[in-house]
């Protein structure tokens, strides 16, 4: 018997299963950012000792596999070890145990911000609705229902040679008669009838979905008006198998049914998003109060808001769906073997777009509807980047743009209408909190903004879930739990600008001597700087940044900068006209601090633009305008892909880019932003 606290989840598992796997089986969410590679330390749990009569078990620390010094001592202090702390990913269950999951190891609900931008999209959806009236059958004209409908569609709208989905055809006789010989016909791509509705229907609906490695966003749209009705989002349920794409590929390769599990999880997650979008079109409900002595199941009644109109959409009303994601997410969603995407030369199973019946994938929308899956480019640059391109259209512009989609996998596009090149680099795990001592996802309690006074070096910060900054709050009200992506980017820039770390990223010990926030950790002998004191946290610990944390952030930003530099060299240019930052990061990144830390080469700050979830915008463009689908296939084949790791001087460029903002490159646009003596180190 395994019991998890404080959730109270319990159940039987096979001996030899590790605590992480047991948590998945029993529906307990434990952070596993590294995908059980034993390198992030986020899955710390406490194995309780003693007899627990309530559950009828005796829990012992010997009921899990022995302590692994090499793997666990890096993350668990001697004091924690003595208290029973272990890494869940290495602790195999041998007998009855009660496992306590501390707050910092609980995978809280992520705050996902992927709102739809107001962009111009020509209205030409793949699914269109047509209203026709037909003559009832007669002895002298015994033509079939379908043939009479087709005749009317050709006569009224010029549609010919239409196929029909069998599930739609089964609706036709009833729809015609219920509509008194008038019917609304939904036609996909002028080729196939996918729905019949009695009488005149005014609307048809669709979904555009961006499957990110960490987050998933769905845009619920009216296909007849091209308006966005709602945006719903969630954390990718595959995160429990690892934070980055290589962790997911490894899980598939090392687990017999790994691909099926991950694919089933994302399908289930997408269906829950569909349910959420539909539910939002109905009035909220509240439980009806029962009369005294009344028995029976609870009943709920609708409580509509005064003056609000509700669409009351059903799953059958969702008649089209477009979807994008990086190459690994694309493959896992479709149950395509992603193994070779992770091996040089990184070929995908398919480049081209796909039209697939939703029912064949288990997505619960209209039974006859199609899903359009955007095409992949190359390597890890997948359908999500194609979405960015068809949303931003750099191939139609003279100005040279650098588009950076900072997610768990960083993707780069550089160029204009004359030439475009793309590449990818592994930036995400550190920037999303993995391998950072107090790193976490963007959930309530995560530090998302940081400001450090360059004179006093005192730290001010803001946490998700609270509007006020620390200096305007009581310490006990902050409830900081860790630091998320946007806070991590702020952090490196602020540490550098305040002179706390040098250009090389090393703590400036001479400057920090006797500062109350700077210290040497007695357990690992690493220097660290306190961001939030224990009294300000919800985990009763000081939240710190360590020298190792700084190095991990430098590695991530160095890869991104080196990628930009090599692509600029490939294009024969020394500067770009505009930098566009996309992705969930792009929504929250402070553009000045992104330049200060050297996330990309020097650029006028006013020419740095946040474009939000451009990948999702591209999926939406393909939903609303079918010509964008052909455009997506064209651009995916006309972008030159650059594999950075095979460039002869990549390592040299990478090492130079790890310095802040860069070892050699000048940053004239930071003059007046960063003190001169620091900038000219």
DSSP string, 254-291: HSTTHHHHHHHHHHHHHHHHHHHHHHTTS--EEEPPPP
> Which among 178-182, 286-290, 471-475 has the top mean pLDDT?
178-182
- Tokens, residue 130: 């047509």
Give 183's strand partners. Answer: 132, 198
pLDDT of residue 241: 79
- State yes or no: pLDDT of 274 exceeds 90: yes
Ranking 169-173, 453-457, 572-576, 591-595 by mean pLDDT, the lowest is 572-576
C-alpha dist (Å) from residue 667 to 95, 351, 596, 663, 670: 60, 39, 9, 11, 6
CB distance 23 to 30 below 8 Å? yes
Q: Report the C-alpha gap between 584 and 489 in whole angstroms.
A: 13
Average pLDDT over residues 214-234: 91
CB distance 100 to 45 below 8 Å? yes
pLDDT of residue 110: 60
- State yes or no: pLDDT of 514 exceeds 60: yes
What is the DSSP track for 221-252? EETTT--EEEEEEEE-GGGGG-SSHHHHHHHH
Average pLDDT over residues 89-97: 94
Ranking 178-187, 378-387, 420-429, 574-583 by mean pLDDT, the lowest is 420-429
pLDDT tens digits, residue range 41-55? 889 999 999 888 777
- State yes or no: pLDDT of 296 exceeds 60: yes
pLDDT of residue 114: 54
- pLDDT tier, 115 (very low <50, low <70, confident <90, very high otherwise): low
- Tokens, residue 394: 């750099």
Q: Count CB atoms within 10 A of the CB of residue 234.
A: 17
pLDDT of residue 670: 94
pLDDT tens digits, residue range 456-500? 999 999 999 888 999 999 888 888 999 988 899 999 999 999 999
| DSSP β-ladder status, 85-87 and 44-47 | antiparallel
Domains, the chain, with CATH or none: 2-105 (3.10.20.30), 127-198 (3.10.20.880), 207-286+301-373 (3.30.420.480), 395-429+553-679 (no CATH), 439-549 (no CATH)
> Residue 92 has what DSSP assignment?
B
- State yes or no: pLDDT of 240 exceeds 80: no
Give 18's strand partners. Answer: 92
Average pLDDT over residues 366-393: 95
Q: Report the C-alpha gap between 419 and 254 in whole angstroms.
A: 40
Those residues with Cβ within 8 angstroms of residue 155's Cβ, 6 or more apart along the chain or in another chain: none
The percentage of residues in the chain with a pLDDT greater than 70, rounded to a whole number, is 98
- State yes or no: pLDDT of 428 exceeds 80: no
Q: Is the preceding omega at residue 166 within 30 degrees of 0, hence cis?
A: no
Q: Report the C-alpha gap between 383 and 402 in whole angstroms.
A: 18
Average pLDDT over residues 627-655: 92
pLDDT of residue 679: 83
Average pLDDT over residues 56-69: 93
Q: Label residues 452-488 b or e (16+ Cβ within 10 Å = b).
A: beeeebebebbbbebeeebeebeeeebbbbbbbbbbb
- pLDDT tier, 343 (very low <50, low <70, confident <90, very high otherwise): confident
> Residue 374 has what DSSP assignment?
P
Q: What is the mean pLDDT of the chain?
A: 91
| DSSP β-ladder status, 228-235 and 285-287 | unpaired
- pLDDT tier, 108 (very low <50, low <70, confident <90, very high otherwise): low
- Tokens, residue 6: 């404080």
* Three-class SS state of 149: helix
- State yes or no: pLDDT of 112 exceeds 60: no
- State yes or no: pLDDT of 111 exceeds 70: no
> What pTM was estimated for this model as a whole?
0.83
- pLDDT tier, 33 (very low <50, low <70, confident <90, very high otherwise): confident
More confident residue, 42 or 551: 551
pLDDT of residue 585: 60
Those residues with Cβ within 8 angstroms of residue 304's Cβ, 6 or more apart along the chain or in another chain: 283, 310
3-class secondary structure per residue, 604-632:
CHHHEEEEECHHHHHHHHHHHECHHHHHH
Residue with tokens 């719903």: 232
Q: Count CB atoms within 10 A of the CB of residue 443.
A: 20
pLDDT of residue 619: 97
- State yes or no: pLDDT of 548 exceeds 80: yes
């Amino acid at each position: 018997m395994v019991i998890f606290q404080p959730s109270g989840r319990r159940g039987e598992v096979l001996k030899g299963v590790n605590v992480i796997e047991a948590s998945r089986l029993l529906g307990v969410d434990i952070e596993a950012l590294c995908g059980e590679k034993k390198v992030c330390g986020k899955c710390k749990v406490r194995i309780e000792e003693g007899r627990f009569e309530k559950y009828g078990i005796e829990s012992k620390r010997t009921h899990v596999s022995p302590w692994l010094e090499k793997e666990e001592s890096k993350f668990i202090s001697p004091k924690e070890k003595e208290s029973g702390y272990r890494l869940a990913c290495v602790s195999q269950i041998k007998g009855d145990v009660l496992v306590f999951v501390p707050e910092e190891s609980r995978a809280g609900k992520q705050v996902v911000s992927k709102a739809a931008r107001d962009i111009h999209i020509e209205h030409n959806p793949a699914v269109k609705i047509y209203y026709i009236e037909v003559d009832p059958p007669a002895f002298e004209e015994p033509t079939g229902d379908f043939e009479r409908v087709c005749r009317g569609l050709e006569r009224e709208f010029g549609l010919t040679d239409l196929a029909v989905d069998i599930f739609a055809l089964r609706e036709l006789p009833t729809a015609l008669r219920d509509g008194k010989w008038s019917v609304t016909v939904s036609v996909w791509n002028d080729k196939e009838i996918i729905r019949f509705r009695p009488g005149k229907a005014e609307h048809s609906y669709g979904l555009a979905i961006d499957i990110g490695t960490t987050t998933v966003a769905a845009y619920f749209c009216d296909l007849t008006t091209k308006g966005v009705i709602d945006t719903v989002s969630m954390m990718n349920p595959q995160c429990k198998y690892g934070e980055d794409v290589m962790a997911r590929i490894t899980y598939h390769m090392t687990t017999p049914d790994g691909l099926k599990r991950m694919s089933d999880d994302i399908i289930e997650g997408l269906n829950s998003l569909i349910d959420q979008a539909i539910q939002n079109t109905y009035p909220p409900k509240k439980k009806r109060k029962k009369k005294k002595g009344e028995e029976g199941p609870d009943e709920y009644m609708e409580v509509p808001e005064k003056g609000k109109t509700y669409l009351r959409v059903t799953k059958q009303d969702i008649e089209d769906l477009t979807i994008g994601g990086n190459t690994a997410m694309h493959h896992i969603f479709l149950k395509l073997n992603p193994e070779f995407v992770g091996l040089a030369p990184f070929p995908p199973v398919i480049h081209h777009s796909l039209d697939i019946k939703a029912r064949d994938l288990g997505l619960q929308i209209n039974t006859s509807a199609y899903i359009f899956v955007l095409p992949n480019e190359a390597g890890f640059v997948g359908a999500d980047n194609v979405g960015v391109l068809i949303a931003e259209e750099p191939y139609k512009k003279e100005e040279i743009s650098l588009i950076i989609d900072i997610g768990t996998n960083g993707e780069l596009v550089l160029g204009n209408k004359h030439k475009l090149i793309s590449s990818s680099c592994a930036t995400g795990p550190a920037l999303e909190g993995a391998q950072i001592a107090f790193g976490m996802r963007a959930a309530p309690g995560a530090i998302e903004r940081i400001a450090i006074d360059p004179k006093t070096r005192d730290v001010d910060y803001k946490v998700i879930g609270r509007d006020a900054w620390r200096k305007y709050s009581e310490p006990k009200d902050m409830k900081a739990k860790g630091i998320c992506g946007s806070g991590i980017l702020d952090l490196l820039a602020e540490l550098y600008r305040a002179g706390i770390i040098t250009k090389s990223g090393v703590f400036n010990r001479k400057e920090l001597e006797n500062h109350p926030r700077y210290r040497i950790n007695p357990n690992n002998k690493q220097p660290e700087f306190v961001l939030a004191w224990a009294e300000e946290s919800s985990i009763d610990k000081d939240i710190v940044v360590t020298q190792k944390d700084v190095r991990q952030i430098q590695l991530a930003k160095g890869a991104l900068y080196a990628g930009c530099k090599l692509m600029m060299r490939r294009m024969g240019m020394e500067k770009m006209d505009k930098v566009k930052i996309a992705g969930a990061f792009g929504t929250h990144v402070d553009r000045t601090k992104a330049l200060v830390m050297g996330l990309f080469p020097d650029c006028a700050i006013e020419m740095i633009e946040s474009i939000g979830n451009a990948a999702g915008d591209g999926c939406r463009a393909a939903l609303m305008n079918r010509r964008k689908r052909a455009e997506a296939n064209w651009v995916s084949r006309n972008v030159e892909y650059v594999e950075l790791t095979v460039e002869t001087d990549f390592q040299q460029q990478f090492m130079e880019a790890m310095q802040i903002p860069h070892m050699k490159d000048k940053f004239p646009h930071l003059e007046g932003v960063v003190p001169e003596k620091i900038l000219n180190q």
